[in-house]
Amino acid sequence: MGTINPVRNYMSLTPIHIQIDSSIEEAANLMAEKNISHLPVLYRGKICGIISHEDVKAALVSALDLEIKDIMNENVVMMLPNTSVKVAIQKMLENKISSVVVHEVDGSIVGIFTSTDAMVVLNSMIDFLEGDLLKARFWNFLNKEYNSVKDGFKRLLA
């Protein structure tokens, strides 16, 4: 059974990833070229971590000789495509992270849901709520006008 707002409707599809033996410079170039801020890290075709643009930036300014495996977060929060957006956002808040990896039951990565995607959801909800508010105001206005006309007829007939 699906959910009303599954992450599959908002995630970035087939996220670009990087291999664990890639260099920090390769990660930085890939992120800049693709204008992305998160890279799942793979080892032998399986996800083993994730890095953010902040991780890469910190590694580049560091005087240390760091590798992807040194900066990646091994505790990757993952979820299935039909997980609700609400659950995804709750997991991101609980774990103080800005993305979750979306995978199929077989473990294959099919997307990434980021804080930017969460903002898209929030924006669409605000648009929806504002539309409902306008409708409510319109119906309230019509109801007042109806009651005013009805009261006028009552006075006229009295």
What is the rounded CA–CA span in Å between residue 37 and residue 9?
A: 20
Q: What percent of the chain has pLDDT over 90?
A: 54
The pLDDT value recorded for residue 154 is 66
Mean pLDDT score across all residues of the chain: 85
Residue with tokens 């599809």: 13
- Bridge partner list, 6: 84
Q: Using 50, 70 and 90 to split pLDDT, how confident is the model at 93?
A: very high
Residues 112, 13 contacting (CB under 8 angstroms): no
DSSP 102: E
Please check the confidence at residue 136 and state whether its pLDDT lies above 80.
Answer: no
**What residue spans define the domains of the chain?**
7-118
What is the topology classification, in CATH, of domain 7-118? Answer: CBS-domain (3.10.580)
DSSP 105: T
Residues 11, 111 contacting (CB under 8 angstroms): yes
Query: Whole-model pTM?
Result: 0.73
